[in-house]
A and B are shown apart, each in its own frame.
Chain A
Amino acid sequence: MPLTWWDPEWDPFREFEQLRRRMDRLLEEELGLRPWWTGVYPPVNISEDADHVYVRAELPGVKPEDLDIQIQDRSLILRGEKKIPAAEKGVNYHRREREAGYFRRVVRLPRPVDPDKVEARCQDGVLTITLAKPEELKPRKIAVKTA
Chain B
Amino acid sequence: MTDKELTPKVKAEAPAKGERVRPGRVFLPAVDIYETPEALVLVADMPGVSGERVTLDLKDSLLIIQGEIAPPLGPGETLLRQEYSTGDYYREFQLGELIDKSRIEATMNDGVLTLVLPKVERAKPRKIEVKAG
Q: How far, in whole Å, are A69 and B79 apart by their CA atoms in the complex?
A: 22
Q: List 22 A-B contacts (CB under 8 A).
A: A24-B25, A35-B82, A41-B5, A46-B81, A47-B74, A47-B77, A50-B76, A57-B84, A58-B111, A59-B47, A60-B47, A87-B41, A88-B36, A90-B37, A91-B36, A93-B34, A95-B31, A97-B31, A99-B6, A99-B30, A100-B2, A103-B5
Complex interface: chain B residues within 8 A of A87 (CB): 34, 36, 41
Q: How far, in whole Å, are A111 and B91 apart by their CA atoms in the complex?
A: 38
* B7 contact from A39, A63, A81, Cβ within 8 A: A39
Q: Do most interface residues of chain B lie in helix, strand or loop, or is the interface mixed?
A: loop
Render A2-41 as a binary contact track against B, CB cut-off 8 A, 1 for contact. Answer: 0000000000011001100100100000000101111111
Q: Measured between C-beta atoms, what is the minimum distance from A15 to chain B in Å? A: 9
Complex interface: chain A residues within 8 A of B5 (CB): 41, 101-104
Q: Which chain B residues in 44-64 approach chain A with CB under 8 Å?
A: 45-50
Q: How far, in whole Å, are A68 and B90 apart by their CA atoms in the complex?
A: 31
Q: Please tell me if the beta carbons of B49 and A102 are within 8 angstroms of each other in the complex.
A: no
Q: Please tell me if the beta carbons of A126 and B111 are within 8 angstroms of each other in the complex.
A: yes
Q: Please tell me if the beta carbons of B33 and A95 are within 8 angstroms of each other in the complex.
A: yes
Which A residue's beta carbon lies closest to that of B76? A49
Q: Is B85 part of the contact surface with A, judged by Cβ < 8 Å?
A: yes
Asked if A61 meets B35 with Cβ closer than 8 Å, knowing A46-B81, A125-B47, the reply is no
Which A residue's beta carbon lies closest to that of B53? A124
Q: Is B70 part of the contact surface with A, judged by Cβ < 8 Å?
A: yes
